[in-house]
Structure 1
Amino acid sequence: MRLLVVEDHPALGPDLKKGLERCHYLVDLVTNGEDALARESDVPYDLIILDILLPGLDGREVCRRLREMHQQVPILFLTALGTVDDRIQGLDLGADDYLSKPFDFRELEARVRALLRRNSSTRTPVLSFQDITLDTRTHEARRGERLIALSSKEYTLLHFFMSHPREILSRTTIAEHVWDYDAEQFSNVIEVYVRYLRNKLCAAGEPNLIQTVRGSGYQLKEPIQ
């Protein structure tokens, strides 16, 4: 799942990004409303965590414009404006949830989970391809009955592959969705992590399912006979 955090506080923004990444989300951070609109037009985010008191274009205006553009991405306002009138105004503008600062990170995490469940109610929580399964609720990966221990980045990479079975995924596409937005230079890092993932998926001698497509990228597909 890819999240956009829009927060201009120099300490809180990075802290939110790190905390959510520890929960296995891919997180982009911007500090103003203009950048938030630009990112949302380029990247299909699963959720936006949006401050209201932003420099320039404030969070309410960002929310209003996104809804005018018929963007249905879930929006959670995270703001110091916590009166009943503030909450009503935010929800009436089209936000899906509203959390006032100061807050407990565990509550934020629970609200994020709830919004993502609501937005993906038609999706299965368990992804599968051949004999590989990935439970997006528990973050457990299995090859057959064998449980596979994955790092946070390996989990995100496998999740991306299994969300796009048989598609040829370029290194640039993988970089944009699994690493930071501007990580096109991560080609060698991507190669290393694909190797890590292959080694873990094939640790018991199973056939390789992540194929290298020369000059194009990688593809999760049935094993070559």
Structure 2
Amino acid sequence: MFNILVVEDDANTQKLICAVLKHGGFTAYPVNNGLEALSRMEEQRFDLIVLDLMMPEMDGYQLCEELRSVGDNIPILMVTAMHDITDKHQGFLAGTDDYLTKPFDEQELLLRIKALLRRAQAASEHKLVLGETTLDYNTLTVTSGDQRTSLPQKEFHLLFKLMSYPDKIFTRLHLLEEIWGLETEMDSHTLNVHINRLRDKFRGNPDFEIVTVRGLGYKMVKRQ
């Protein structure tokens, strides 16, 4: 069973998140701010943090920065009422792994947590498996059956990102910032070229396909 630290100062939201996590099969440990979170983390190991943004004593940005500055790579899902894109950018720059705005859908919260935990496990093992397809982070290779394909770094990271979150739609901007960096001068054409190369290389793959969501971006879909 996974232990999740819920850092949220609003009592009602804290209770709701803990109830949703318990229903999803997780064990939730609530605290009220970043300082309490750091203190609790000295006493116990956690698998993931659900983190509010605006809190007294130490807010979500500060907690993220504190953890990342000492090399702690625990998955962090920031859940906040702040909807502005600049707040999201600041959250990712501080070190959060994913971002969910309030009010949130309870099922989406669980799905995002499960995806982050899968991603963390894949990162620790440096492998990601979907059906008969395995992505090896160390060698930048994709193996399916007896076929092994080596990929350029950007193509591999793009495929790894999409495969880490099956059925999740990623905007072109999100993927550009995630793979090429926030300050990249690359545009959508560069991303489209990389997507098309991946499609060409894995057109016959039995486990997945990359789907264009018109007007939005791309997602990975599992084949039946």
Q: TM-score range by the shorter chain?
A: 0.5 to 0.7
- SS at structure 2 position matched to 1:111: helix
- Unpaired segments ≥5 residues, structure 1: 125-225
Partner of 1:63: 64
Unaligned runs of 5+ residues in structure 2 are 128-224
Structure 1 residues 72-113: Cα deviation after superposition (integer angstroms, max 9, x where no partner): 100111001111100011001111001111111111111001
Which residue is 2:88 aligned to?
87
2:29 corresponds to which residue?
A: 28
Tell me how far apart the structure 2 counterparts of residues 96 and 52 of structure 1 sit (CA, whole Å): 14
Report Cα offsets for 1:114-170 as digits up to 9, x if no partner.
00000112399xxxxxxxxxxxxxxxxxxxxxxxxxxxxxxxxxxxxxxxxxxxxxx
* Paired residue secondary structure (1:54): coil
Cα distance between partner residues in 2 of 1:41 and 1:73: 13
Which residue number in structure 1 is paired with residue 15 of structure 2?
14
Shift, 1:42, TM fit = 2.3
Which amino acid letter does the alignment assign opposite residue 107 of structure 2?
R
Deviation (angstroms), 1:35: 0.3
Alpha-carbon distance between aligned partners in 2 of 1:71 and 1:43, rounded to the nearest angstrom: 14
2:55 equivalent in structure 1: 54
TM-score, normalised via structure 1 length: 0.53
CA distance in structure 2 between the aligned counterparts of 1:80 and 1:116, rounded to whole angstroms: 23
The answer to whether structure 1 residue 99 and structure 2 residue 100 are counterparts is yes
SS where residue 120 of structure 1 aligns? helix
> Percentage identity across aligned positions?
39
The residue type equivalent to 1:104 in the other structure is D
Partner letter of residue 28 of structure 1? Y
- 2:44 is the counterpart of 1:43: yes
Report the Cα distance in structure 2 between the residues aligned to 1:41 and 1:94, rounded to whole angstroms: 20
Deviation of 1:49 after TM superposition, in Å, equals 0.4
- 1:4 maps to 5
Distance 1:84 1:123 in 2: 31
Equivalents in 2 of 1:18, 1:57: separation in Å?
A: 24
